[in-house]
Structure 1
Amino acid sequence: MASWNQKQWQQDMAESPRRAGLSSHSSFLDDRAVGFTHVKTPAVDRGLFRLTGTQDGTQAGRGGSRVVALPAGRYQRPPQLAKGLKACHLNHENRDRDNVRAIDLELDVITHPRNTSAMLPVIQARNSGCSTKLIYDAEMTWMEAKQGAKDCMILTTRWDLTSGESKKKIAFPRAFEGELEVLCWIKDFRFRTWCDTASYTLDVKASNVTATGFTAVAKGSRNTQRLTTTWIIHRKGKPKVASGTFRTLGDGPASNTGRIAFPRGAFIRKPTVLVALSGFDLAGDGDLSIGTYATSVSPGGFDWHLNTGADDSREALRSAEGTYIALGFV
């Protein structure tokens, strides 16, 4: 683990004019905020942060964060970060800062431009007030890549679905060579819950992929207002890397599972498998509860899971999709 100086890192973060992903310090809650829990003891970097590690999980709150220490010398400057939602149980009766009923979730990983000894994953209710009670449970994942890596690029797309945005042309900062894989993780979103019983639906795809960019297509139910997605673009056939999607087959049970087989010879040892949600269609008029997990990981593959813990869960999960990337060098 890195030699981590809490006082210095916090001072550096306070002096930073801009935090990664959002425009100002005040965009993030801290341990002085009602309903928000921050853990200062640094955790080992495993690419995962679960909020019930900082809350008892029985009462909905506004969110939490935890310092994650990075190994000494891993990065000279902050890495590229793909951030995705793994699981959540969100209160549909939540009210935001303006006393509007909404499910408004936000997650990020805060870094400092000069101090690479640590980073800070955050899961929080966006636009929240002291009476906001949104999050019972939530888990996020992230993938790191060095800045300037020639065979991997990470991009973020923000959608205003209230205004009807559905397609965006995404241009790469530089052209790729060879065939590409384009993966999508859902990062955060807002659903209104005060006016109807519309479903919780998000569907995001990449089309028309070329060496210079692609078309991103997003769809949501009529109560979907905001969506942010992370795109992971990597060279197809890269050694010690496998990626793809898995999904339920139409209306299904509350718990769904299957097995992904990696390409033969892709891994000699058990890889690290990172999974996050890339789409879902859930019944409305209730809590939003969905999660994806990977188990039984081996050099040959892994078992995937897509589950909902909502009330009347056999009726709640209409469909869901997860996206994975397996890495044999971390």
Structure 2
Amino acid sequence: MPPASSRCCFYTYHDTNQDEDKRVEWAIHKNPRNVLITVPPPRLFRDKETRPEAANLPSLGMISSKIWQSGQEIVIGFLAGSEWQRNQVKRYAPLWTRYANIRFTFLDHRPSDGADVLIGFDSAEGSWSSRGTDCSYFSSRGIKSMNLSWIMSQRSQADIRATILHQFGHALGLVHEHASPQVPVRVDRNRIFEDLNPWQSPWDPFRLDKVYPTDRLLATSNGCSIMLNYLPPYWTQHRMSLRHNTDLSEEDKDYMKFYYPPENHGVGYFNTLEIRSTNDPITLDAYIKTIPSRQKHADLIAGLTWIDLEPNTLEGPYVRVSAAVHEDRITAQIKAWPTSRLHAAGMAWLEIGPRFHFIQHGKFRLCDLTTPLDNFSRNSEVIEFSTPFPSPPTVVCFVTGVQVMQSNYRLLVDAVDVSSTRFTLKIGTWGGTDLRAAKVTWLAYPADQPGVASGEICTSDIRSWNQPQQENSAFTPFPTAFTKTPNVLLALKGFDCSRFSGLRLRVCTSLVTPTGFYWHIQGWTSIYSGCASYFAWED
């Protein structure tokens, strides 16, 4: 490799599209939280001029993060390298663990199996790493998942530290900072080919100038990030240079704290992909997950976060989730009916215990309608609080089940006419949608309650309904900033999707800060609109 590339990351050297959907399912199996947060992956790199057939290709890969389980031990194995090279990795990689709730264990012998990350030191390949749980997907198959070129005594300790921290950032799930549309860079492909061809490098330089579209990534320009890939100025058009960062930035540390929090804050998640593949849809089944509860006899608030199903008959698709605590165990269930072909579905829940003594909550089920609701009509139910509030509280609603006949999938739930003693729950549809059943959970809390916040996010905040798209993202500020990063429960409260390609969407976050959070409503088909409710609290 030429000296110019010694600080450059050859990201996704060997695994850009290989088994992508299998790797997503692997990531969810490794960590169910991957369905609730998103880190923009390489498959969002769409070059419409050279790959028009892939420009709008939906994939599980475009909607899943690949972070490890918080608190996990990640086993690092070495396929090669001198003792000095391995010691450099052991010295610098653990710097991430000061901010991420994970730990590294290094194998000194040549591993035959059991390693989550397999590291090589081949100088002909450059430095690169697979992303997050992709590392263990490849290492479980005996394939190298990271390569660290140029970890050599001739280089400065700053350069060695930068290389190791950068690649372990990928191994922990991060992508390149310069992929942000706010950090534009265009490479000089001809010059790179001239420099790399003598080394017969299989690396594809076309990847370096792929930029996430602005409608698919909400990001700030973190020019100090260790994930900002350095490029020599003569490899770029206009001879611009990206800075060479050698240590973690404050934003890098914040991302790690968000992705790998120190403990479980009472939010749980379940997705059918933890149990079975999306490629083998079923028509009738119940998926059950049982996990320990943080507290005995706690109540739960649950909501749908992910729906991927299509009608099996003219009766329309039907999906329902439920969750309950029995003794010290939580039983979560996702069920589909014979009218549906369920590819996947997901849910999130919050344990309501002494911490939330000020919350009242309940469920409402709209079902067994013999005729569809009239156009633009809203079925309503007056809900009485078990104990009156001193003043009108804040009410938050989540969808936990829905049945729609063979028509566009439209649903919106809302709380209106809120008083200190009651509120009206409205379940609405429009445009000729034949809604036959719906299930909703709700919670209410004093509007002036300190340390909590709630609200809703919707695609209508950023675009018109008649401009459907698969990826919808924005930043939503909290009504009042928290003193530290809060916990957030986010679940669906409504949607409007075409009937021709099934009900297929999910809601997730990519980063929560004390002032607000980045949200994403994503789909495998174009979404006319989508809405979700959130409840945030500070421990």
Q: TM-score, normalised by structure 2?
A: 0.46
1:86-137 Cα shifts (integer Å, max 9, x gaps): 0111022x25xxxx6421111101332xx2x2111111114x4xxx762111
Paired residue type of 1:110: A
2:435 aligned with 1:224, yes or no?
A: yes
Select the residue among 500, 505, 513 that pairs with 1:298.
513
Select the residue among 475, 478, 488 that pairs with 1:262.
478
3-state SS, counterpart of residue 388 of structure 2: coil
Q: Which has the higher contact order (CA 8 A, sep 6+)?
A: 1
Match of 1:180 in 2: 393
2:363 aligned with 1:140, yes or no?
A: no
Q: Which runs of 5+ in 1 are unaligned?
A: 1-43
3-state SS, counterpart of residue 450 of structure 2: coil
Q: Which runs of 5+ in 2 are unaligned?
A: 1-263
Match of 2:490 in 1: 275
3-state SS, counterpart of residue 273 of structure 2: helix
Inter-partner Cα distance in structure 2 for 1:166 and 1:297 = 34
Q: Indicate if the aligned counterparts of 2:305 and 2:491 stay in contact, CA closer than 8 A.
A: yes
2:303 aligned with 1:90, yes or no?
A: no
Paired residue type of 1:153: Q
2:532 aligned with 1:322, yes or no?
A: yes
3-state SS, counterpart of residue 285 of structure 1: helix
2:358 aligned with 1:159, yes or no?
A: no
Inter-partner Cα distance in structure 1 for 2:365 and 2:507 = 22
Match of 1:57 in 2: 278
Paired residue type of 2:420: A
2:432 aligned with 1:213, yes or no?
A: no
1:27-50 Cα shifts (integer Å, max 9, x gaps): xxxxxxxxxxxxxxxxx7642111
Q: % of aligned pairs identical?
A: 23
Inter-partner Cα distance in structure 1 for 2:449 and 2:291 = 28
Q: TM-score, normalised by structure 1?
A: 0.73
1:225-268 Cα shifts (integer Å, max 9, x gaps): 00011111111232221110010123232211111112444232
Q: Indicate if the aligned counterparts of 1:51 and 1:63 stay in contact, CA closer than 8 A.
A: no
Q: Indicate if the aligned counterparts of 1:60 and 1:91 stay in contact, CA closer than 8 A.
A: no
Q: CA deviation at 1:286?
A: 2.6
4+ residue runs over 4 A deviation: 147-150, 161-165
Greater fraction helix: 2
Q: Indicate if the aligned counterparts of 2:305 and 2:507 stay in contact, CA closer than 8 A.
A: yes
Select the residue among 403, 406, 409 that pairs with 1:190.
403
Select the residue among 233, 244, 265 that pairs with 2:444.
233
Q: CA deviation at 1:149?
A: 5.7
Inter-partner Cα distance in structure 2 for 1:297 and 1:149 = 21
1:44-102 Cα shifts (integer Å, max 9, x gaps): 7642111111112211123412111123xx23xx222111000111022x25xxxx642
Match of 1:285 in 2: 500
Select the residue among 427, 446, 457 that pairs with 1:246.
457
Greater fraction strand: 1
Q: 1:255–1:137: structure 2 CA closer, same or farther, 3 Å change rule? A: same
Match of 1:31 in 2: none
Q: Indicate if the aligned counterparts of 1:60 and 1:133 stay in contact, CA closer than 8 A.
A: no
3-state SS, counterpart of residue 55 of structure 1: coil
Inter-partner Cα distance in structure 1 for 2:288 and 2:426 = 31
Match of 2:291 in 1: 68
3-state SS, counterpart of residue 387 of structure 2: coil
Q: Indicate if the aligned counterparts of 2:391 and 2:419 stay in contact, CA closer than 8 A.
A: no
3-state SS, counterpart of residue 499 of structure 2: coil
Q: Indicate if the aligned counterparts of 1:273 and 1:294 stay in contact, CA closer than 8 A.
A: no
1:161-202 Cα shifts (integer Å, max 9, x gaps): 545471111111110123411111011011123xxxx21000
Q: 1:187–1:147: structure 2 CA closer, same or farther, 3 Å change rule? A: farther
Paired residue type of 2:478: F
Inter-partner Cα distance in structure 2 for 1:243 and 1:173 = 21
Q: Indicate if the aligned counterparts of 2:267 and 2:351 stay in contact, CA closer than 8 A.
A: no
In our comparison, the structure showing a higher alpha carbon Rg is 2
Inter-partner Cα distance in structure 1 for 2:450 and 2:273 = 35
